Amino acid sequence: MESIENAIEVRHLRKVFGTLKAVDGIDFELKQGEFLTVFGPNGAGKTTLIKILSGLTQPSSGTARVAGFDVTEGHPEMRKEIGVISHSTALYADLTSLENLMFFARMHGLEQPQEKALKVIEEVGLSPRRNDRVRTFSRGMLQRLSIARAVLHDPAILFLDEPFTGLDLHATNVLKEHLQRLHDRRRTILMTTHDISCGLEMCDKVALQVQGKFAFLENISNVDKDRFESMYFDAVRDKQFAMGIGL
Amino acid sequence: MNLYLNQIAAIVWKDFVTELKTRELLSAMFIFALLVILIFIFSINLSIVKASEVGPGILWVAFLFAGTIGLNRSFMLEKENGCLMGLMLVPADRTAIYFGKLISNLIFLSIMELFILPLFMIFFNIDLLSHLGPLLVVVFLGTLGFCALGTLLSSLSSNLKTREIMLPILLYPLLIPIVIGAVRMTGQILDGIELFDMMKWIGLTASFDIIYIGVSIMTIDHILEE
């Protein structure tokens, strides 16, 4: 990615589904190499925000620029600069892990796709299972392979949608180490999560998204972690009461 | 251009490797097409009805119905585990995804047809070998149109809950010109008419092939978008 002041720049972003405001006037920017963690209760619009920023969904209004590209234009060059880990693994169940990554390497136009695929498989600790069908993988292994798929082309910007979901302690540590390495290499990262300790530990900025809005956005150095934690739990509880679930 | 062709080739390669491992698509299409032909062969008295008159219709019913199974499966594979989302995130033009899937479908259907044609020849006691060249041209033209439109509509219907029902409902009415052309040309070939003498039908079928591919190129971007 060429040197751009803001890797991600979002202005008055809105996404409406009928009467539901999934994203409601979000503004923020992330400089190259910054790591933003977005917390929020279920249904706060975090996944929609990531879908808009990765060009998978069009916003209703507002602007968003990622790696200097307007996300609404669907520019292929923008997709070279981003990697996305979502709830779905985006892996073909009947292909092996090596075949999956070779396929995505070819789709990205990478030279020596097999070598690249083997390298990232080793990085996520799946070398012994490289020739096994993805269908036989556990949730944690799938998530690690999904990470490998997302970083295969060495993107400058990463979007991670609740990447710790369903991972055991070992897989969580592997993912954290991998994210830390990417952060050290000045990759811009936007991650949504419910895991307070993991989320606060790695980020430079933290946000709390509630009912489509950023109710809180601050540099991590200015955040009292205990106060933020109680604020987050209040938001989750209020959301549950609003939905009639209660605590 | 090189990257574009490589991306198309990668999709075809991926579909082939998947099919080699699962063998679900070809076997399902082949068995279905064979069943259609068997049902007709037992319901028609070929000593009364001329095989070259009813045969072409039966052959294309078998191809189209079996092909629909293949088309339904084609984009279902991409929906599983959100793979289509993964495809949407690679720096590929959406038409490369379309052409990759179109070529895969075309090859799988052609393989099924190549297995069905000899069986059709045996069951209907028709000599296809002396008309093989023109017949393959007609089968290719018909199959190309079917796959061009079918690939587009299967990508559209893959987002629907009722996709297995919606695909044939959307596909078959639009396929009528191609089906009529393919059936008429197949019948004429079996009657010994030269390809050169049926240019009107070839023109019609080829025109619809081109129209469906053109419409797909223009609309696939919007159809694949969530």
Residues 6+ apart with CB under 8 A from A33: A7, A183, A186, A187, A188
Residue B190: count of CB within 10 angstroms of its CB: 23
- Tell me if residue A188 falls in helix, strand or coil: strand
**How distant is the Cα of A55 from the closest Cα of chain B, in angstroms?**
8
Cβ within 8 Å, pair B91-A133? no
Non-local CB neighbours of B63 within 8 Å, separated by 6+ positions: B33, B109, B112, B113, B116, B139, B142, B143, B146
Instruction: For residue B126, report the phi and psi dihedrals to the nearest 5 degrees.
Output: -115, 140
- List Cβ neighbours of A86 (8 Å cut-off, separation of 6 or more): A47, A50, A159, A161, B82, B85
Count of the separate structural domains present in chain B: 1
Task: Give, for all 226 residues of chain B, the pLDDT tens digit.
Answer: 688 999 999 999 999 999 999 988 999 999 999 999 999 998 888 888 888 889 999 999 999 999 999 998 888 888 888 899 999 999 999 999 999 999 999 999 999 999 999 999 999 988 888 889 999 999 999 999 999 999 999 988 877 778 778 888 999 999 999 999 999 999 999 988 888 889 999 999 999 999 999 999 999 988 887 6
Give A227 or A130, the one with higher predicted confidence. A130
CB A147 within 8 A of CB A116: no
Q: Pick from A58, A76, A89: which is nearest to B81 by CB?
A: A89
What is the distance in angstroms between the Cα of B217 and the nearest Cα belonging to chain A?
16
Q: Where are the alpha helices (DSSP H) in chain B?
A: 2-22, 25-43, 51-79, 83-88, 94-124, 132-157, 163-190, 199-224
CB contact under 8 A, B89 and A79: yes
- For residues A52 and A12, is the Cβ–Cβ distance under 8 A? no
Residues of chain B with Cβ-Cβ distance to A55 below 8 Å are 88-89
- Domain of residue B20: give its range: 2-224
Residues of B contacting chain A (CB within 8 angstroms)? 3, 6-7, 9-11, 13-14, 17-18, 21-22, 77, 80-83, 85-93, 221, 225-226
Nearest to B6 by CA among A187, A185, A113: A113
Query: Was domain A6-242 assigned CATH 3.30.70.260?
Result: no
What is the rounded average pLDDT of the residues A212-224?
88
Pick the residue from chain B with its C-alpha nearest to A73.
B221
Tokens 């619809």 -> residue: B208
Residue of B nearest to A149 (CA): B86
Residue A240 has pLDDT above 60, yes or no: no
Q: What's the length of chain A?
A: 247
CA angle in degrees (0–180, nearest 5) for B102-A75-B100 = 10
Average of per-residue pLDDT values in chain A: 88
Between A235 and B152, residue with greater pLDDT? B152
CB contact under 8 A, A74 and B18: no
Domain boundaries, chain A: 6-242
Q: Do B85 and A106 touch (CB under 8 A)?
A: no
Query: Which candidate, A38, A60, A44, A67, places its Cα nearest to that of A161?
Result: A38
Report the alpha-carbon distance of residue A122 to residue A144 in Å, rounded: 11
Per-residue pLDDT tens over the stretch A28-46: 999 999 999 999 888 889 9
Contacts of A80 in chain B (CB under 8 A): 91
Mutate to test the interface with B, among A92, A101, A112 (most CBs of B within 10 A): A92
Q: Is any Cβ of chain B less than 8 angstroms from the Cβ of A116?
A: no
Q: What is the mean pLDDT of residues A148-168?
A: 90
What is the 3 state secondary structure string of A47-82?
HHHHHHHCCCCCCCEEEEEECCEEHHHCCHHHHHHE
Chain A residue closest in CA terms to B226: A57
Distance of CA A103 to the CA centre of its chain: 22
